[in-house]
Structure 1
Amino acid sequence: MIMKLNEKMKLAYNIKVDNFGNTIGFSYPNQTLAISTTGNSCSLNCAHCNGHYLNNMVHINDYESKIKSKTITSFLISGGCQHEGDVPINNHIETIKKLKKQGYSLNAHLGLMDKESIKSICKYIDIVSFDIVLDEETIKEVYKMDKKKEDYIETYEFIKQQVEIAPHICIGLKGGKIKGEYEIINYLKKDPPKKITFIVLIPTKNTEYENVTPPELEKVADIICEARINLPKTEINLGCMRPRGMYRSELDKIAILCGINKIVLPSRGAKNKALEMNLNIVEGKECCVL
């Protein structure tokens, strides 16, 4: 029997309360500085990004001037991908060692990095945010790479042996369509991670997907519920990458009802919903997985 969405949401929310109580986390990551090891360049020119979001990051060579004027306690180390899907952060390993020695918490995007590079960099970082994709049509269409789901699984499993890893799942990555998201949840439930982060496709100007429609809210809700039901003890976050405006406001409220643990940059609608439900709001100032 297929469960109706409203029944599934009630079940998911109750599972969340049983395992985490009535607390909701709201994250305002002003104390995490996002730095890029490649500036605004990326070799893949993906359908959903085309390097656009690298423009919001600080070049790793310029980070020192930024931390003078802000209270920074952690870093998100990222950058554009190379042709094989790896993020070349090892080129700056001395800077990363220095940041770790100075006591900063470090979250990193590695992408499909080779094993030797993973071993060398994971000594100095606290957690890896790993974008996991298991649908091969999506990999080809979005990332323009001839990679298989096994490549993602092998890299994920190897990173997991070195350091804590937080899988990131982009709902609607394939042009707003749901394709492969349930397969990822099914794979993760075999060995549940401590944390996962959901993000949602943003139709972005000057990309191939600029005119697509984000996934329907009901479909997003069903996926979040599926994760909560199958990963009852995993902290589930709703990350900063999701559409703005009314879509975000409605999504945030729905996510709370689906048993989400933490929302990054919550909308006013999310705050009002949390207050209406008498939830215990805990605010954070860093990236959601830190």
Structure 2
Amino acid sequence: MNITPKMEKAMKIKNTNFGNEIQFSYPNETLAISTTGDNCNLSCAHCNGHYLKNMTPINDYKSKIKTKNISSFLLSGGCSFEGDVPINRNIETIKKLKEEGYKLNAHLGLMDKKSIEDVCKYIDIVSFDLVFDKETIKEVYKIDKNKEDYIKVYETIREVTEVAPHICIGLKGGQIKGEYDIINYLSQSRPKKVTFIVLIPTKNTEYENVSPPDLEKVCDVLCEARINLPNTEINLGCMRPRGKYRKELDELAIMCGVNKIVLPSNNAKAKAIDMNMTIEETKECCVL
């Protein structure tokens, strides 16, 4: 893929505001724990509970931290039928982790206001998926929610703790639908950081046979974010396709002006070196 004028503009904005630097994240010191085990009520089109299997059940976290150097936790789990991640059921454990000095990142989903206020007393930052396209919400999550529902929860979280919006590029079966609308909304009150992920066609899901979004379209979304969010830290998160796709995406993402790439490909590292970038390596979840 050739470098476009939009990519050149995005890179110039990034260099002006952040310098010729790139962060590579290897989040070995963040333990992802699930408050619901591998159970999720929604059976979403892109996941179907698959990624919960890679998380540590919350009741087993003590055995994990004995064998690993853990400084932070990602609190997550499956969703209820309302679209919330019920981590508040484990609020005493969460409180204990905070008192022990761990940094806490959390997925809350479409949690109600009272629960948000209760649990966010102990949360350093919330990773919140923003989805604005109603068709996408219905097709992927199987819930009757809309853009306004997501904005309401996002704004509620912002009132009580830091929040890093997450945007999945190509969430609707590899199609770009609603991503630009989200960026436009965020540009009105720019967040400190935002994380982009990319749809992974995953085995045993409704989307296992779709193609990931076209790389040119992904790059255009990333550039749009950099241009409209000039002072926001832009992360390329861990959830993105592997193989050749990732190699090409990671290299291009640098040219789109991202600040951080999680688990970067060798192509990205070589590109950064070739561009004489200052490379910083981090060991925690990208928003921490």
TM-score range, shorter chain: over 0.9
What does 1:9-158 align with in structure 2 at a 5 Å threshold?
9-158=7-156
Task: Find the aligned partners of 1:267 and 1:106 in 2 and give their Cα distance.
Answer: 27
Task: Find the aligned partners of 2:113 and 2:189 in 1 and give their Cα distance.
Answer: 21
Task: Find the aligned partners of 2:87 and 2:282 in 1 and give their Cα distance.
Answer: 26
What does 1:262-277 align with in structure 2 at a 5 Å threshold?
262-277=260-275
Task: Find the aligned partners of 1:205 and 1:48 in 2 and give their Cα distance.
Answer: 9
Task: Find the aligned partners of 1:158 and 1:5 in 2 and give their Cα distance.
Answer: 39
Contact 1:31 1:285 in 2 (8 A): yes
Task: Find the aligned partners of 2:21 and 2:72 in 1 and give their Cα distance.
Answer: 24
Listed one character per residue, the Cα deviations across residues 102-124 of structure 1 (whole Å, up to 9, x for unaligned) are: 00000000000000000000000
Q: Alignment partner of 2:188: what SS? A: coil
Q: What's the offset of the Cα at 1:23?
A: 0.7
> Which of 176, 179, 194 in structure 2 is aligned with 1:178?
176
User: Which consecutive unaligned segments of at least 5 residues does structure 2 have?
Assistant: none
Task: Find the aligned partners of 2:285 and 2:166 in 1 and give their Cα distance.
Answer: 13
Task: Find the aligned partners of 1:103 and 1:21 in 2 and give their Cα distance.
Answer: 32
Q: What's the offset of the Cα at 1:100?
A: 0.2
Contact 1:5 1:222 in 2 (8 A): no
Task: Find the aligned partners of 2:77 and 2:64 in 1 and give their Cα distance.
Answer: 17
Q: What's the offset of the Cα at 1:257?
A: 0.3
Contact 1:24 1:262 in 2 (8 A): yes
Counterpart check, 1:162 vs 2:179: no
User: Which consecutive unaligned segments of at least 5 residues does structure 1 have?
Assistant: none
Listed one character per residue, the Cα deviations across residues 188-221 of structure 1 (whole Å, up to 9, x for unaligned) are: 0000000000000000000000000000000000
Q: Alignment partner of 1:161: what SS? A: helix
Cα RMSD, aligned residues only:
0.8
Task: Find the aligned partners of 1:225 and 1:49 in 2 and give their Cα distance.
Answer: 27
Where does structure 1 differ by over 2 angstroms across 4 or more consecutive aligned residues?
none
Task: Find the aligned partners of 2:140 and 2:3 in 1 and give their Cα distance.
Answer: 29
Contact 1:201 1:214 in 2 (8 A): yes
Q: Number of aligned pairs?
A: 287
Identity of aligned residues (%): 73
Contact 1:171 1:178 in 2 (8 A): yes
Contact 1:108 1:128 in 2 (8 A): yes
Taking structure 1 as the reference length, the TM-score comes to: 0.98
Task: Find the aligned partners of 2:20 and 2:53 in 1 and give their Cα distance.
Answer: 37
What does 1:193-272 align with in structure 2 at a 5 Å threshold?
193-272=191-270
Q: What's the offset of the Cα at 1:5?
A: 6.6
